[in-house]
Chains A and B, each alone.
Chain A
Amino acid sequence: MPQMNMVQAVNSAMDVMLARDPAVVVMGEDVGYFGGVFRCTEGLQRKYGEHRVLDTPIAEGGIIAAAIGMGVNGLRPVAEIQFADYVYPAFDQIVSELARLRYRTAGEFSAAVTVRMPCGGGIRGGQTHSQSPEGIFTHVCGIKVVMPSSPYDAKGLLISSIEDDDPVIFFEPKRIYSGPFDGDPNKPAVPWSTHPKGEVPAGHYTVPISRAEIVRAGSDLTVVAYGTMVHVVEAAVRLAGVDAEIVDLRTLVPLDTDMLCSSVCKTGRCVIVHEATRFGGFGAELSATVQEECFWHLRAPIQRVTGWDTPYPHAFEWEYFPGPARIVAAIKTVMEAT
């Protein structure tokens, strides 16, 4: 089976879908001739032409609006927002339009738009190239929110997203584009070829939306994460020396509540980890859900490990990033509670 990093996997997903479905178009800033600033669309315009892979003006609101109009006219646009940090000019078009079109027209109109955007920190990007705004989108009714943690899942989930008739916000954790990251920036980079999920089928396959995955089975506690943090959690669990069950959510909306809660009901302890800021973040929803569903099985208060509630600081990236040390501390807290 071919080895791919996450950039190649995302590229392969679009390649497969452009070939299979003439309605699929790819659009965004620098995605055409140049192939994208992260190279996710490299070669696609050469292969499918300028009418299928479009460079766009630098206007995120215009990109999403145009994608909506194309979707209404029967196309299946895959729009790239160059960095998740740049999505805000498109917020109205996503929240008021894309997410609600099916609802407000009682199903008469809809737009099957996939919005891809690289997110997350750990790349010295400062506050305008490091954000994890997934919680802003999970609060919106009518869009699905996906964040893969590996090349295999990225390709399978992106194909599922493009084939989905509902709009999908597809977050790509850019720190793990080229390899899994255990949270220690001083260690040499590890390529995806060392990871089983770096093996990616060349053709069409799907990973279902709305299904979490247990990436490590265990009995002491449940650690919930998604995106980059899945790998940081794996490292932290090794450091802590506990038999943790690690749940990779993969899809945030609609949430796989069954898998999450059956794991916590089994282990009785829960740590929630995300890069995004804490207050009102997606971890709060997870914590509330676990409390509602698993209260009588819990043996310790739920802990959250997240980015601090500040903008992402350029010079203090590794003090900000919720790395293994903070995750280990949270694991200890829930394990020591009686």
Chain B
Amino acid sequence: MVKASRLHVPHPPARPGDRPDFDYVRISAAGAVARPEITVAARDIEALAVDMVRVLDDEQRAVGPWNPHLDPQELQVGLRHMLLTRLFDERMQRTQRQGKISFYMKSSGEEAVSVAAAMALRPDDMLFPSYRNQGLQVARGRGLVDLMCQLLSNTHDMCKGRQMPVMYHWRSGNIFSISGNLATQFPQAVGWAMAAAIKGEDRIAASWLGEGSSAEADFHYALTFAAVYQAPVILNVVNNQWAISTFQGFAGGEQRSFAARGPGHGIPGIRVDGNDFLAVYAVTQWAAERARRGAGPTLIELVTYRVSAHSTSDDPARYRPKEEWHAWPLGDPIARLEQHLIGLGEWSAERQEALRQELEAHIAACWKESVSYGTYSEGPSLDPATMFEDVFKEMPTHLARQRDELKALLKSRGS
């Protein structure tokens, strides 16, 4: 019995040097969770916010009511997108270490979160990503050269050198701009979805944030507005256990699951194995159909693990066991889908290796092309005077004067 007031300071189960311990992660057996009707009331499926939707069992066979029954060809496409995302991440991390780009953020271990979701949505649905959703870009067919040129801030950079690496956007691909201020995209996605409903369209919006930034007020704005207006939106919390150095307990994960915040707002909350491609696909498909039919929003918690550092500026060995990843109970999304396909007789280790080589060659070719458009430190480079453009649609006189001042300065320097 508590006898006095106290301050509870959450502690992760393991620090550097400790044995990794993921006992706190509650896991349901694959196939054990029922798949409710699309139009179900949030209050009738509160258990889904606590249990975990899983399709792939320990032998990576697809089981249970959430099995989306995808064609093997579609699964192979998913595997390809996930592997391309991982190899792209690894290559870009190396280029950062070589000093070619200033900064990078890998999504290793979280590829299914983005790739499966993008494949379950329609191409005209609008995506509001966080900074670790590069799989969305890959799955929607974005050219790697476009992504690399952004990372390089070169003459082909979609952001014209105005954004740090990974803050991509893609209007024609219906992927919104990534903000460095966390969670801001969550309520914006709801507003976008409200507008779609106002206009009578059947496009929906989806957004992602990390469990850490679910502590921001924006998360709660998003849930409130989504619930109030029953907006056609899917709100995804990517619970990768770590927000830089603070574990998920510092975002409130010790007390309730993140999915459980949905039912509190009258929104279905579904907790899903984020490393299970089929489960992520199935849950996203369920939520998308619900939204498209006017049955309202869904909150999805994708339980996964941030295998890499937060960014190239971070060293996780300072705050968590170095080998913690090996103890992660939900495995590797790529290896699991690969095993699943092999079990179906639709894939092999040889094909996987051939695919890896093909994708690595593709990445290398894209990199070669991208650096020909310049790098952060070497030309060709953008005209610095372009920094004054797009502050407003039309440049006001005070900015034109500042631009001319800079131009004169650059001219006097002979650059």
Taking A61-B217, A66-B194 as contacts, is the C-beta distance between A105 and B398 under 8 angstroms?
no
The reply to whether the CB of B135 lies closer than 8 angstroms to some CB of chain A is no
| B window 214-261: CB within 8 A of A | 217-218, 220-222, 224-225, 228
Decide yes or no whether A25 CB sits under 8 A from chain B: yes
Q: Complex formed: what's the CA distance from A148 to B342 in Å?
A: 70
Contact of B177 among A51, A52, A101 (CB under 8 A): A101
Do B177 and A109 have beta carbons less than 8 Å apart?
Answer: yes
* Complex alpha-carbon distance, A62 and B187, angstroms: 6
Q: Does A104 contact B (CB under 8 A)?
A: yes
A21 sits at the interface (CB 8 A): no
A69 nearest CB neighbor, chain B only: B191
Stretch of B35-43, B114-122, B195-203 that contacts chain A: B195-203
**Residue in B190, B193, B393 whose CB lies within 8 Å of A102:** B393
Cβ–Cβ < 8 Å partners of A93 in chain B: 184, 187, 218
B181 within 8 A of partner (CB): yes
Complex contact A62–B222 (CB within 8 A): yes
Q: Is A336 close to B, CB under 8 A?
A: no
A 46-70 contacts with B by CB, 8 A: 51-52, 56-57, 59, 61-62, 65-70
B199 pairs with A69, CB closer than 8 A: no
**In the complex, chain B residues 149-179 whose Cβ is within 8 Å of any chain A Cβ:** 158-160, 162-163, 167, 169, 171, 176-177, 179
Query: Are A69 and B190 in contact, CB atoms less than 8 angstroms apart?
Result: yes
- A104:B191 contact, CB within 8 angstroms: no
Asked if B198 and A96 sit within 8 Å, CB to CB, the answer is no
In the bound complex, what is the Cα–Cα distance between A103 and B195 (angstroms)? 23
State the CA gap A72–B188 with chains docked (Å). Answer: 9
With A104-B163, A254-B397 known as contacts, the answer to whether A66 contacts B181 (CB < 8 A) is no
Report how far A330 CA is from B222 CA in the complex, Å.
49
Q: Would B390 and A65 count as touching, CB distance under 8 A?
A: no
Given the complex of chains A and B, what is the CA–CA distance between A216 and B193 in angstroms?
49
Contacts of B391 in A (CB 8 A): 102-103, 141-142
Chain B nearest CB from A137 CB (Å) reads 14
B residues 127-151 in Cβ contact with A at 8 Å: 128
Q: Please classify how large the interface on chain A is, using the bins under 10, 10 to 19, 20 to 34, 35 or more.
A: 35 or more
Residue of A nearest to B197 (CB): A51
Closest Cβ–Cβ distance, residue B187 to chain A (whole Å): 3
**Chain B 321-356: CB-based contact to A (< 8 A → 1; otherwise 0):** 000000000000000000000000000000000000
The reply on A5 being an interface residue by CB < 8 A is no
Task: Check A73–B222 contact: CB distance below 8 A.
Answer: no
Does B24 belong to the interface (CB within 8 Å)? no
- Chain B interface, number of residues (Cβ within 8 angstroms): 45
For B168, the closest partner residue in chain A by CB is: A105
Which A residues touch B224, using CB under 8 A?
57, 59, 62
Tally of A-B Cβ pairs under 8 angstroms: 143
Decide: A59 and B195 in contact? CB cutoff 8 A.
Answer: no
Q: Measured between alpha carbons, how far is A257 from B402 in the docked complex, in Å?
A: 14
B390 touches which of A68, A107, A257 (Cβ 8 Å): A107
Taking the complex as formed, is A199 at the interface, i.e. its CB lies under 8 A from any CB of chain B? no
Q: Which residues of B contact A101 (CB under 8 A)?
A: 177
Specify which of B192, B228, B396 is in contact with A69 (CB 8 Å cutoff). Answer: B192
User: Closest approach, in angstroms, between the C-beta of A164 and any C-beta of chain B?
Assistant: 8
Q: B398–A257 contact, CB under 8 A?
A: yes
Q: Is B56 an interface residue (CB 8 A)?
A: no
User: Given A62-B224, A104-B167, A257-B398, is A89 in contact with B217 using a C-beta cutoff of 8 Å?
Assistant: yes
B179 partner residues in chain A, CB cutoff 8 A: 96-97, 104
Are B171 and A105 within 8 A (Cβ)?
yes
Asked if B363 is at the interface of the complex by the 8 Å CB criterion, the answer is no
* Most-contacted residue by chain B among A56, A73, A210 (CB, 10 A): A73
Give the chain A neighbours of B225 by CB distance below 8 A.
56-57, 59, 62, 65-66
Contact check, B188 vs A109: say whether CB atoms are below 8 A apart. no
For A109, the closest partner residue in chain B by CB is B177
A106–B187 CB distance below 8 A: no
A75 at the interface (CB under 8 A from B): yes
Min C-beta distance of B38 to chain A, whole Å? 24
Taking a contact as CB atoms closer than 8 A, the residue among B181, B222, B390 that contacts A97 in the complex is B181
B92 close to chain A: CB less than 8 A = no
B189 at the interface (CB under 8 A from A): yes
* Closest Cβ–Cβ distance, residue A329 to chain B (whole Å): 32
> In the docked arrangement, what's the CA distance between A110 and B176, Å?
11
Q: Which chain A positions have C-beta within 8 A of B217?
A: 59, 61, 89
B residues near A141, Cβ cutoff 8 Å: 391
Query: Whole-angstrom distance between the alpha carbons of A264 and B315 in the complex?
Result: 58
Determine the chain B residues whose CB is within 8 A of the CB of A103 once the complex forms. Answer: 162, 390-391
A309: interface (CB < 8 Å): no
Bound together, the chains give a CA A104 to CA B159 distance in angstroms of 6
Q: State how many angstroms separate the Cβ of B390 from the closest Cβ of chain A.
A: 5
In the complex, are the beta carbons of B169 and A69 less than 8 A apart?
A: no
A255 within 8 Å of B by Cβ? Answer: yes
- CB-CB nearest in chain A for B393: A165
CA separation between A109 and B188, bound complex, in Å? 13
Besides A69-B193, A93-B187, 10 more A-B contacts (Cβ < 8 Å) are A65-B191, A69-B191, A69-B192, A69-B205, A74-B195, A93-B184, A104-B169, A106-B389, A108-B171, A109-B171
Interface residues of chain A, those whose CB is within 8 Å of chain B, are 25, 51-52, 56-57, 59, 61-62, 65-75, 89, 92-93, 96-97, 101-110, 141-142, 144, 165-166, 210, 254-255, 257
CB<8 Å pairs between A and B, sample of 26: A59-B221, A62-B222, A62-B225, A65-B186, A65-B191, A65-B218, A65-B222, A66-B225, A70-B191, A70-B192, A70-B195, A72-B176, A92-B181, A92-B218, A96-B181, A96-B184, A102-B392, A104-B159, A106-B158, A106-B159, A107-B389, A107-B390, A108-B177, A109-B169, A109-B177, A210-B396
